[in-house]
């Protein structure tokens, strides 16, 4: 499951994975985020908040995740990976070569700091 919280007043989305991610999770995330992007043009940021990255429930889910990234990376200024998972370091190192958004990894306990960074305040 992927919980999506859209904070329209800040222009940010917070996604919280819980369990292996499915194709439907990314389709639901797009359905929650895309209307805001349609009205405002972009998100200031996206915060991925999970102690450990849960992975995907299928290869189709992985492909849907990659499609989500492809369709949204130009419409998000900053992505904060707030996790204790090694996936956070990997994402910061690798994705910067493939996505337009600035990506930064924060330890799980530093959600508040990550939020300020996404907003351009820290």
- The string of DSSP codes covering 32-71 is HHHHHHHHHS-EEEEEEE-SS---BSSHHHHHHHHHHHHH
Rounded to the nearest integer, the mean pLDDT of the chain is 86
Domain residue extents for the chain = 2-118
Q: What angle do CA 29, 32, 38 make, to 5 degrees?
A: 115
State the Cα–Cα distance between residues 67 and 11, nearest whole angstrom.
Answer: 22
Note the pLDDT tens digit of each residue in 35-88. 999 999 999 999 999 998 888 898 898 888 778 887 877 888 898 999 987 664
pTM (2 d.p.): 0.87
pLDDT > 70: what percent of the chain?
89
Q: In this structure, what token pair is assigned to residue 67?
A: 């499609």
Dihedral pair phi/psi, residue 19, rounded to 5°: 95, 170
Nearest to 6 by CA among 29, 40, 38, 39: 29
Which pLDDT does position 3 carry in this prediction? 95
What pLDDT was estimated at residue 118? 95
């Amino acid at each position: 499951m992927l919980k999506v919280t859209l904070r329209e007043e800040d222009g940010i989305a917070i996604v919280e994975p819980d369990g292996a991610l499915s194709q439907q999770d990314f389709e639901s995330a797009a359905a929650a985020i895309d209307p805001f992007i349609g009205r405002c043009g972009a998100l200031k940021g996206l915060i991925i908040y999970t102690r450990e990255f849960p992975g995907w429930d299928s290869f189709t889910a992985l492909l849907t995740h990659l499609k989500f990234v492809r369709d949204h990376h130009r419409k998000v200024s900053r992505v904060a990976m707030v996790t204790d998972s090694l996936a956070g370091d990997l994402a910061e190192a690798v994705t910067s070569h493939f996505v337009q958004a600035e990506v930064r990894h924060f330890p799980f306990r530093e959600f508040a700091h990550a939020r300020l960074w996404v907003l351009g305040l820290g």
